[in-house]
Structure 1
Amino acid sequence: MSRGVVFDFAGVVFRWRPLELLQQVLPQRVPHEDAARGIAASLFQSFEVGSDWACFDRGTVGEDELVARISARTGLAASEVRAVVDAIPAHLEPQAPTVALMRRLKAAGHRLFFLSNMPAPYADHLERQHTFFEWFDDGIFSARVQLIKPEPAIFQEAARRFGLVPADSVFIDDHAGNVEVARSLGWQSVQFLDAAQVESDLRASGWAVAD
Structure 2
Amino acid sequence: MSDIRHIVFDIGRVLIHYDPEIPYRRLIPDDAQRRWFLENVCTGDWNIEQDRGRRWEDAEALLIAEHPQEEENIRGFRRHWHEMVPHAYDDSVAMLETLIDAGHDVTMLTNFAADTFAEARERYTFLNRPRGVTVSGEVRLLKPDRAIYDIHVESFGLEPAATLFIDDSEKNVEGARDAGWQAVHFSGAEKLRSDLAGYGFAV
1:87 maps to a residue whose letter is H
Partner of 1:161: 155
Aligned residues: 199
2:78 maps to a residue whose letter is V
Gaps of 5+ in 1: none
Cα separation, partners in 2 of 1:74 and 1:166, compared to 1, 3 Å: farther
Q: Pick one of 42, 51, 63 that aligns with 2:40.
A: 42
Partner of 1:63: 56
Partner of 2:118: 124
Cα separation, partners in 2 of 1:154 and 1:19, compared to 1, 3 Å: same
Kept in 1, the 8 Å contact 2:22–2:84? The answer is no
Displacement after TM superposition at 1:41 (Å): 2.6
Is 1:189 aligned to residue 183 of structure 2? Answer: yes
Gaps of 5+ in 2: none
- Which stretch of structure 1 is more off in the superposition, 69-78 or 113-122? 69-78
Q: Match of 1:118, SS?
A: coil
RMSD (Å) for aligned C-alpha atoms: 2.0
Displacement after TM superposition at 1:64 (Å): 1.5
Provide the C-alpha distance between the structure 2 equivalents of 1:67 and 1:123, rounded to a whole number of angstroms. 19
1:3-32 CA deviation, whole Å, 9 max, x = no partner? Answer: 2111111111111123344323322xxx23
Cα separation, partners in 2 of 1:3 and 1:40, compared to 1, 3 Å: farther
- Which stretch of structure 1 is more off in the superposition, 91-100 or 5-14? 91-100
Q: Match of 1:112, SS?
A: strand
Cα separation, partners in 2 of 1:204 and 1:58, compared to 1, 3 Å: same
Q: Match of 2:18, SS?
A: coil
Q: Pick one of 64, 88, 93 that aligns with 2:81.
A: 88
Partner of 1:107: 101
Displacement after TM superposition at 1:72 (Å): 3.1
Scaled by the length of structure 1, what TM-score is found?
0.84
Q: Pick one of 21, 33, 42 that aligns with 1:19.
A: 21
Q: Pick one of 2, 5, 10 that aligns with 1:3.
A: 5
1:132-173 CA deviation, whole Å, 9 max, x = no partner? Answer: 133210101111111111111001101111111121111111
Q: Pick one of 197, 200, 203 that aligns with 1:203.
A: 197
Provide the C-alpha distance between the structure 2 equivalents of 1:44 and 1:174, rounded to a whole number of angstroms. 22
Displacement after TM superposition at 1:36 (Å): 4.2
Aligned residues with identical type, % of pairs: 28
Kept in 1, the 8 Å contact 2:141–2:147? The answer is yes
1:63 maps to a residue whose letter is W
Q: Match of 2:80, SS?
A: helix
- Which stretch of structure 1 is more off in the superposition, 129-138 or 70-79? 70-79
Q: Match of 2:131, SS?
A: strand
